[in-house]
Amino acid sequence: RQRSSAGEVVFENVSFAYREDDPILTDLSFRITPGEHVALVGPTGSGKTTVIRLLCRLYEPQRGRILLDGIDIRELAIPTLRQRLGVVLQDTFLFSGNVADNLRLDAPITTEDLERLCAELGLVELLRRLPDGLATELRERGGNLSSGERQLLSVARVAIRDPSVLVMDEATAFMDPATEATLQRDLDRLLQQRTAIVIAHRLATVEAADRILVLKRGRLIEQGSHGEL
Ligand code: ATP
């Protein structure tokens, strides 16, 4: 499978504050090579979510640069950035509309292809549970789905776009074992041959990562594999 982008992510001396005189990230530098899986860990408030927000360009660093495949993300068109960077957050944004539209977003994809992809992702069970399958209308924010089901849809939404970099805030919510197993299998597949940066909450994820970045008060204090740390 050919992608237009290899998936290298570089933070170069990035400093960021939401408010003046309240530094959240300080001189943060790291390089994630194409295909590498990195777990981001650190105490609450250490800046993990902020790293992800900057990478997605929700905020801009006051100092330093963030590069995707050698290009400053400020120079990338937003649709290009969205195509290359797949984001799975804990609280997925689902809008009122049907399941198919929620999966597609603005990607031009036929219902037939969508059905095939859902089958590949093991979503058949979920779709069968819903009254009208892909045509099921979701309530505001997917209120008529369980949190596990919302996560499954958010992974499917990202898988459909085939991004070169996966950015994820791993779920902590309780899921029934069957949903969790499907989710884990989909995630494992999604991680293959892709760069990933994951805010890891599960020990298994930390252990499986190629490298762990440890943040403390917005600084990178340690990095290495699970065996090394
Ligand atoms: P957690 O593990 O609890 O999710 P985290 O490591 O992801 O924490 P961040 O969410 O990045 O940490 O938060 C880092 C710091 O930035 C915290 O002190 C937080 O209060 C602050 N912060 C986060 N978002 C904002 C915001 N929108 N405006 C101002 N301060 C913020």
What domains, with CATH codes, occur in the chain? 9-224 (3.40.50.300)
The best mutation among 14, 24, 55, 217 to test binding of ligand 1, ranked by most ligand atoms within 8 Å of the C-beta, falls on 24
The best mutation among 40, 41, 49, 198 to test binding of ligand 1, ranked by most ligand atoms within 8 Å of the C-beta, falls on 49
Buried b (16+ CB within 10 A) or exposed e, 195-216: bbbbbbeeeebbeebebbbbbe
The model carries a pTM of 0.88
State whether the Cα torsion 173-177-183-187 is positive or negative. Answer: positive
Query: How far is the centre of ligand 1, averaged over its atoms, from the C-alpha of 23 (Å)?
Result: 11
Res. 206: pLDDT tops 60: yes
Res. 77: pLDDT tops 70: yes
Res. 1: pLDDT tops 60: no
User: For residue 193, what pLDDT band results from cuts at 50, 70 and 90?
Assistant: confident
42 Cβ closer than 6 Å to some ligand 1 atom: yes
pLDDT of residue 2: 59
20 Cβ closer than 6 Å to some ligand 1 atom: no
- Model pLDDT for residues 2-35, shown as the tens digit of each residue: 566 799 999 999 999 999 989 999 999 999 999 9
